[in-house]
Amino acid sequence: MLRLIICEFWKLKRRRLFQAAFLTTFIIPLLYTLILSDANLDNMMSVVREENGFLILMPLSVVLAANLFFEEHDHDTLKNLMCIPVSKNRLALAKFAVIFLFDVGYMFVGYGTAILLSVLTGVPLGGLVLQLFLTLGTGALLFAAAMPCIFLVVWCNKSYIISVIIAFAYTVFNYILRINDSFMMVPLGLNVATFLPVPVIFRWLYQFHSLEDAGEIMREFYHRFSPYFVSTPAVFGILFGEGVVFMVLMMKVYRKQSV
C-alpha cells in the first residue's frame, strides 16, 4: 500500500498545476496581513482555516481526486495495473490517502505561513498548540467533507471541466449554508443540518474564536449561537462517518467502471 501511495504522489509531482495550486495557501494570509493593520494570530488562523480551507482547498481536493481517479483511464494504464495484479480497492485507498495528506499538508503550510507573517509583523504568538490542532483538524475534516462531491465526480465519470463545475457548485452551496440560521442554529440529531458537512465544521470552529477584541455585536452573536456549538468528538464522528460511507460507495463505483 505504501508503494501505491508513493506512486500516486509521483503522479502529482509531474502535474505543475497542483504544485502551483499548493502555493495558493500563502496568498490569502499575505493579503490579510497587508490590508489590515490590526491583524492578530486568532484572526489570521481563522483566515487560513476558513477562506483558504473552505474556498480554495475544498474545490482543489475535488479536482485533485478527479485527476487521480481519471488518469489511468485517460492514459490507458489501468489494464497494466490490473495485470500486476493490483486491486481497484487498493488503488482507490491509495488515492484517498494522497488526498488526505494533500489536504492536511496544505493546511499545515497555511499554519506555518500565518506564524511567519505574525513574527514578521510583530503579532503576539499565543495558543500555538490549539491553533495547530484546529488547523490540522480542519484539513482532515475538509477531506471528509469533500467525499460526497468526489463521489459524484467519480460516479459521473465525465470530463475535468464537469468535475470543476461540480466542485465549485458544491463549495459555493456549502459556503452559503454556513450563514443560514436554518442550518446553523439547529441542535444535533436526525436532521438535515446535522449531516451537512461545512455548516457542522463551522459550528465546531466558531466556539474557538477569541472574544478578546470582539465588539458587542460579535459577543451577542457568540452567546446566541453557543447552544448550537458542536463538540470535537461529535464533528469528527459525523464527518468521518459520512466520509467512510461515501468512500465505500466510491470504491464500488470504481470497481464497476470498465478497464
Render pLDDT for 200-218 as a digit per residue (tens, 0 to 9).
Answer: 998 998 888 776 666 677 6
Reported as half-sphere exposure (CB side, CA atoms, 13 A), residue 206 has a value of 22
Q: Report yes or no: 175 and 136 within 8 Å, Cβ to Cβ.
A: no
For residues 223 and 217, is the Cβ–Cβ distance under 8 A?
A: no
Average pLDDT, the chain: 81
Place of cell 483511464: 73
Q: What is the pLDDT of residue 219?
A: 75
State the average pLDDT over residues 102-126: 87
Amino acid at 227: P
pLDDT at residue 78 tops 60: no
Instruction: Yes or no: say if 47 and 148 are a contact pair by the CB < 8 Å rule.
Output: no
pLDDT in tens, 162-181: 777 888 888 888 878 877 77
Per-residue burial over 159-197, b if 16 or more Cβ lie within 10 Å, else e, is: eeeebeebbbebbeebbebbeeeebbebebeeeebbebb
Alpha helices by DSSP H, 53-179: 58-74, 78-82, 88-121, 128-156, 160-177
Give the pLDDT score at 13: 66
- pLDDT attached to residue 145: 92
Q: Give the C-alpha distances (Å, rounded to integers) separating 159 from 52, 154, 187.
A: 26, 10, 39
Mean pLDDT for the stretch of residues 242-254: 89
Which of 68-77, 111-120, 177-186: highest mean pLDDT? Answer: 111-120
pLDDT tens per residue across span 14-62: 666 666 777 777 777 787 777 766 667 888 888 888 888 888 888 888 8
Candidates 163, 162, 166, 242; CA nearest to 199 is 242
* 210 vs 246: which has the higher pLDDT: 246
pLDDT for residue 255: 76
Determine what percent of the chain is predicted with pLDDT higher than 90: 20
Q: Which of 9-13, 70-74, 139-143, 161-165 has the highest mean pLDDT?
A: 139-143
**Residue 141 — pLDDT band, cuts 50, 70, 90?**
very high
